[in-house]
Structure 1
Amino acid sequence: CSALRHLKEASMSEVAGQPFSKPRTLLEGVKGIEFVKPSRPDECCGFGGTFSVTEEPVSVRMGQDKVRDHLNAGAQYIVSGDMSCLMHQQGCAERMKADARFIHIAQVLNGARA
Structure 2
Amino acid sequence: MTVTIDDSTVLASEVAVLRALEMAGKRCRNVSRDRRKVLIAETPDHLLYTQLPNASRHEDCDRLLEGAWDHLRLVLPGRPKVYALCDWYVRELLVTRQQHTRADLERVLAVAHE
TM-score, normalised by the number of residues in structure 2 = 0.31
- In proportion to residue count, which structure has more helix? 2
Question: Which structure carries more relative contact order (alpha carbon 8 Å, separation 6+)?
Answer: 2
